[in-house]
Chain A
Amino acid sequence: MVDPMNKRTDATLKLEQVLHQALSGLPPRQAPATLESRVANELARRALLPWWRASFASWPVAARVMFILVCAVLAAVTILGGVSAYLGDRSFEEVSALVLSWAHPLLTVLSSAGGLVALLMHVIPPLWLYGILGVGIFLYVTLFGLGAAAYRTLYLPSSAGNAS
């Protein structure tokens, strides 16, 4: 008696061999007659472009070096100018105190939020928490499923149509 699994494997192997025979050794397709003129026209168009509209890699070396230097100077001026305009003539201690004065309320808010979460965990029955967690997971999976369904119904048919 022939094992169905072996039969299927044999068919798969046979298909691979038969298709490989059919596909290998095929002559290349003939390129359109317009390809050569298209390439020539595109090369001519690009040759007419000024050097600064070509890719950065094809700029003259001097222009590339100058561009990098100018960008570096502009970045440095912007950063240093912004920092010095903000700080004015404040000392380091004053700046540190200013930063800490912002950080303190932020830390207070974060610690209050943590305390609130701990209180809620203590007060709300665990069953409710599991329920809320379950609803959250359900909504997430539903959204993901809708996305997948949209992909399969809206995108796949059009991509298969483009391929044919």
Chain B
Amino acid sequence: MRAYQDMVFSTAARLAGSDTQAEDISQEVFIRAYEHFSDLRGSVTAGGWLKTVTTNLTLNYLSRYRKRWRLFSEMRSSTQDGEDDGVELDWEVPDTILADLSAEQRSVIVDAALKQLPEHQRLPLVLYHFEDMSYQEIADKLSVSLTKIKTDIRRARAALLPLLQTVGGARDTLDG
């Protein structure tokens, strides 16, 4: 468990955007792993199995609270799809972001910024950039249209950039 607990927790935390929920989900993941212990013991795919179960459990956990609002959420998105390509970048895109920081410092800043994104943007963004899933795989996983996924990820990136620059800049100031 010790070998995988950080991976499981951070996957759940980045997707859910909440440490409390991530801890509940991680607990459930390891209980399931215990139930499948005979299959997983010594298996080289144990890490992949844990990652998949963590992702699925987190999405199930979040969807319990999301289903009732899906109709309006989809409607809101589809009304905004018309301005799909109008995702304006108010900020000049720099050549690098947080490049002068250590990986640990970047991790703290990125996780703080991710928590500020709304769920419908954070989920596909994390699945794309952290779990290396394609747009189509994410659309299938979240049961939403490919167009909505692309739009949400573009919007998430546009929202994340100023957050990273602001938080990163503030941290640099504090460190300095």
A interface residues with partner B (beta carbon < 8 Å): 8, 11-12, 14-16, 18-32, 34-36, 38-39, 42-43, 46, 147-148, 151-152, 155-156, 159-160, 162-164
Cα A28 to Cα B14 in complex, Å, equals: 10
Q: Which residue of B lies closest to A55 (CB)?
A: B35
Cα A155 to Cα B72 in complex, Å, equals: 11
Contact check, A21 vs B103: say whether CB atoms are below 8 A apart.
Answer: no
Contact check, B93 vs A18: say whether CB atoms are below 8 A apart.
Answer: yes
Which residues in A have their C-beta under 8 angstroms from that of B160?
19
Q: Is the interface of B mostly helix, strand, loop or mixed?
A: helix
Q: Which residue of B lies closest to A156 (CB)?
A: B118
Contact check, A39 vs B161: say whether CB atoms are below 8 A apart.
Answer: no
Cα A156 to Cα B121 in complex, Å, equals: 13
Contact of A36 (CB < 8 Å), options: B1, B72, B93, B115? B1
Which residues in A have their C-beta under 8 angstroms from that of B129?
19-20, 23-24
A-B contact pairs, 8 of them (CB 8 A): A19-B129, A22-B97, A22-B98, A22-B99, A22-B110, A29-B6, A35-B26, A36-B2
Contact check, A30 vs B6: say whether CB atoms are below 8 A apart.
Answer: yes
B interface residues with partner A (beta carbon < 8 Å): 1-2, 5-11, 13-14, 17-19, 23, 26-27, 30-31, 34, 69, 72-73, 75-76, 85, 87-89, 93-99, 103-104, 106-107, 110-111, 115-119, 122, 129-130, 154, 157-158, 160-161, 164
Q: Which residue of A lies closest to B7 (CB)?
A: A28
Q: Which residue of A lies closest to B66 (CB)?
A: A159
Given A22-B97, A35-B26, A38-B27, A28 contacting B115 (CB threshold 8 A): no
